Amino acid sequence: MNDLIKGEKYDWEMVIGLEIHAQVKSNSKLFSSSSTRFGSSPNSQVSLVDAAMPGMLPVINKYCVEQAVKTGVGLNAKINNYSVFDRKNYFYADLPQGYQISQYKYPIVGEGKVTIDFKDGTSKDIRIVRLHLEQDAGKSLHDQNPSKTYVDLNRSGVALMEIVSEPDIRTPDEAGMYISKIRSILMYLDTCDGNMQEGSLRADVNISVRKPGDKYGTRCEIKNLNSIKFIKQAINYEAKRQIEILESGGSIEQNTMLFNTSTGKTRPMRNKEEAHDYRYFPDPDLLPLEISKEEIGKIKSSIPELPDELKNKFIENYKLSNYDASVLTAEKQTSDYFNETINSDPELKNHAKIVVNWITSELFSLLNKNNQDLNNSPVSPENLGQLIKLISTNEISGKIAKDVLEDMFSSGKTARQIVDEKGLQQVTDQGEIAKVIDEVIAENPKMVEQYLAGKDKLLGFFVGQAMKLTKGKANPKMLNDILKQKLNKKN
Amino acid sequence: MKIDKNTINKIARLSRIKLDDKESEDYIKDLNSILDWVEQLNEVNTENVEPLSNISSSILPKREDISNDTNSSEEILENAPDKLEGFFAVPKVVE
């Protein structure tokens, strides 16, 4: 078990569960017709329902219900035909109703599971307890004025799916992989835009520590983390804090914590003694939500191919490793791009691994460097396919292909055009390569002597010289073979 | 179950309602009489009876996902005691 962390005295195991809040991708809010658009001017998308004006009644958005069902199916979960909306009561300035409409005892989606894949080829299931629908709250700005808090209700009433996991997660990395996987599934399903910066996807983390084999320790909950980096940081800090307390003979107090992103530390929220007294009860304004088997069936049949299915298909069709296939399928735009590339030429199916490498290392690093996204990549899948074809048929070397890709990226030309214009075709003519090697050998008699005296490292020097003369176009394997042959003949 | 002074104070605090002693006494009496009545209802045997959630046998009405793009911020902020540049302004709440 290398998942343990070392304290001063003992080894400890982390026990982690996540509550993910995913904003439902919809035009209008869960119980009102206000727009859900992000970044509009404050309080411009607030209906009388969202502002909790007296006498206003909620009417549920049919599409949001379908989105939740769809997500449930994607999480391999049980869809409940009958669910109930409850009021979760608490006071806060950005919650005008004084309660959040949520689901407590009867959520719309029950138990499910998702699989995470490790680099070493193994995988692990994380169990889902439930998914329920609820309203988001408004947004408070605390730091604009020393004595005031400013409130914007645009987000108030937007539909959220809360996805609760079992405490099956054991390391910060697993937590990161789990939320990435959930994000990936949501984006394939198109039920959430997955934008963590804008808060469309955020998580509360429950964490405790124990000696391996012991029963669960007392947990603390870290609220509202909106990046994978912060989730890992917060878990690491909080686990260390708990271990220090336990090893010095103290005990953990169950608490709700906030994570300070600039200091990297967690601290307890105030008002904790009343924090969990939400007095849930069924919302008398809303009848129970019933969904027929037929409706569920219809939604099920509309579900696109999900990352895990796609992953298995890639492994089977293209003999890719589990890890390569999971990297390709993590984001829909990546798997789409791969599909388009590999289908652009029938030959490429036999070079799937090369296609993966060119997308996930060369193209990705160029996109990163230029702050661009695969969606608006200047290199189309067809053009990348053409480039890879040129490599696989030995027309250009891999090394030159990198320069060609950069050129394609900045000029928008095709690989063929660039190779033809610059005369980059690989030299595969034995005689021509041999001629260059003879030249190099003749020009460097001392080096040849040293090489023959046992300085094997000099082989690289000769290769370099010969490449220089061919402007990098000699087929590297042929060059190496002929060079060794010729040098050894001298012996 | 009986409502006592501590319970009534807790409920009042959770509801952000300030009660004086006289009011507390009144609420203790009122709430206890409600609970007594519920106790009485509890005498009925409801084993194997589904909880009643709907007396009209109507189903939850649903709407289509269409957003009305009306900006009603002026209307929404009209009754706010304090506002600034489109925001509600409230006494500072910091966790």
Closest CA to A396 of A371, A416, A368: A416
Rounded CA-CA distance A116/A128 in Å is 13
Above 50 in pLDDT, residue A159? yes
Cβ pair A55, A192 in contact under 8 A: no
Give the model's pLDDT for residue A357: 94
| Residue in A426, A436, A422 with CA at minimum distance from that of residue A474 | A426
The whole-angstrom distance between residue A490's C-alpha and the CA centroid of its chain comes to 56
Q: CB–CB of A207/A235 below 8 Å?
A: yes
Residues B14-71 have pLDDT tens digits of 888 999 999 999 999 999 999 999 999 999 999 998 877 677 778 899 999 999 878 8
For CA atoms B39, B44, B50, B55, the dihedral sign is negative
Domain boundaries along the sequence of chain A: 5-300, 307-422, 430-490
CA A308 to CA A73: how far, in whole Å? 13
Which residues of chain A neighbour B95 with C-beta distances below 8 Å? 258, 269-271
The two tokens of residue A152 are: 């914007």
**Cβ within 8 Å, pair A51-B85:** no
Position A275 pLDDT exceeds 60: no
Q: Strands, DSSP E only, in A33-156?
A: 60-61, 82-83, 86-89, 99-102, 112-117, 123-135, 139-141, 148-152
pLDDT higher than threshold 60 for residue A434: yes
Question: CA-CA distance, A335 to A328, in Å (whole number)?
Answer: 5
Angle at the Cα of A149 from the Cα atoms of A145 and A154, rounded to 5 degrees: 125
> Average pLDDT of chain A?
92
The CB density around residue A212, as the number of other CB atoms within 10 Å, is 11
What confidence tier does A489 reach under pLDDT thresholds 50, 70, 90?
confident
Tell me: pLDDT of A398 over 60. Answer: yes
Q: What is the pTM of this model?
A: 0.82
Distance CA A266, CA A147 (A): 25
Look at residue A116 and tell me whether its pLDDT is greater than 60.
yes
Other beta carbons within 10 Å of B61: 11
A292 and chain B: CB distance < 8 Å anywhere? no
- Locate the chain B residue with the closest alpha carbon to A148: B92
Query: How far is Cα A239 from Cα A409, in angstroms, rounded to an integer?
Result: 45
What pLDDT is stored for residue A491 in this prediction? Answer: 65
Q: Tell me what percent of the residues of chain A surpass a pLDDT of 70.
A: 98
**Backbone phi, then psi, for A32, in 5-degree steps?**
-145, 170
Specify the CATH number of the domain B5-41.
1.10.20
pLDDT of residue B2: 85
As given in the structure block, the two tokens for residue A183 are 């994000």
CB A61 within 8 A of CB A68: no
* Residues A12-17, mean pLDDT to the nearest whole number: 97
Residue B65's closest CA among A35, A414, A167? Answer: A35
Q: How far is A92 from chain B (nearest CA, A)?
A: 8
Q: Is B57 on the interface with A (CB under 8 A)?
A: no
Q: What is the pLDDT of residue A2?
A: 64
A469-478: pLDDT as tens digits: 888 888 888 8
Q: Which residue has the higher pLDDT, A399 or A68?
A: A68
Structure tokens at A6: 């070392």
| Percent of chain A scoring above 90 in pLDDT | 70
* Average of per-residue pLDDT across A136-141: 94
Residue A251 CA: distances (Å) to CA of A205, A242, A402 = 20, 8, 57
8 A C-beta contact, residue A52 and residue A66: no
Partner residue facing A44 (CB), from B16, B73, B93 = B73
- Candidates A182, A250, A175; CA nearest to A207 is A175
Assign A458 a pLDDT band (cuts: 50, 70, 90): confident
CA angle A67, A73, A75 (to 5 degrees): 105
What pLDDT is recorded for position A1? Answer: 45
* Phi, psi (degrees; rounded to nearest 5) at A207: -140, 140
**Distance in angstroms (rounded) separating the CA atoms of residues A153 and B76:** 10
- pLDDT tens by residue, A227-262: 999 999 999 999 999 999 999 999 999 888 999 999
**What fold characterizes domain A430-490?**
Arc Repressor Mutant, subunit A (1.10.10)
**Confidence band, pLDDT 50/70/90 cuts, at residue A274:** low
Contacts of B82 in chain A (CB under 8 A): 148
Residue A175 has pLDDT above 90, yes or no: yes
Tell how strand A112-117 and strand A123-135 pair up. Answer: antiparallel
3-state class of A26 per DSSP? coil
- B92–A142 CB contact, under 8 Å: yes
pLDDT in the model for residue A273: 47
* CB-based contact B87 A42, cutoff 8 Å: yes
- Taking the CA of residue A401 and the nearest CA in chain B, the distance in Å comes to 49
Return the SS3 of A262. coil
pLDDT computed for residue A445 by the predictor: 86
Asked whether residue A352 carries a pLDDT value surpassing 80, the answer given is: yes
Asked if B67 reaches chain A (Cβ–Cβ under 8 Å), the answer is yes
How far is it, in rounded angstroms, from Cα A29 to Cα A69?
17
SS3 (DSSP) at A20 = strand
User: Is pLDDT above 90 for A425?
Assistant: no
Beta strand A60-61 pairing with A289-290: unpaired
In total, the C-beta contacts within 8 angstroms joining chain A to chain B are 128
CB < 8 Å to A91, chain B: 14, 16
Q: Rounded mean pLDDT of A435-444?
A: 88
Q: Is A410 exposed, middle or buried (0-12, 13-18, 19+ CB in 10 A)?
A: exposed
A111 close to A129: Cβ distance less than 8 angstroms: yes
* A328 pLDDT more than 80: yes
Q: How many CB atoms lie within 10 A of CB A61?
A: 28
Q: What is the pLDDT of residues A279-312, one digit of tens each?
A: 999 999 999 999 999 999 999 999 999 999 999 9
Per-residue pLDDT at A248: 94
> Which chain A residue shows the shortest CA-CA distance from B60?
A287
Residue A369, phi then psi, degrees to nearest 5: -60, -35
Q: pLDDT digits over A52-73, tens only? A: 999 999 999 999 999 999 999 9
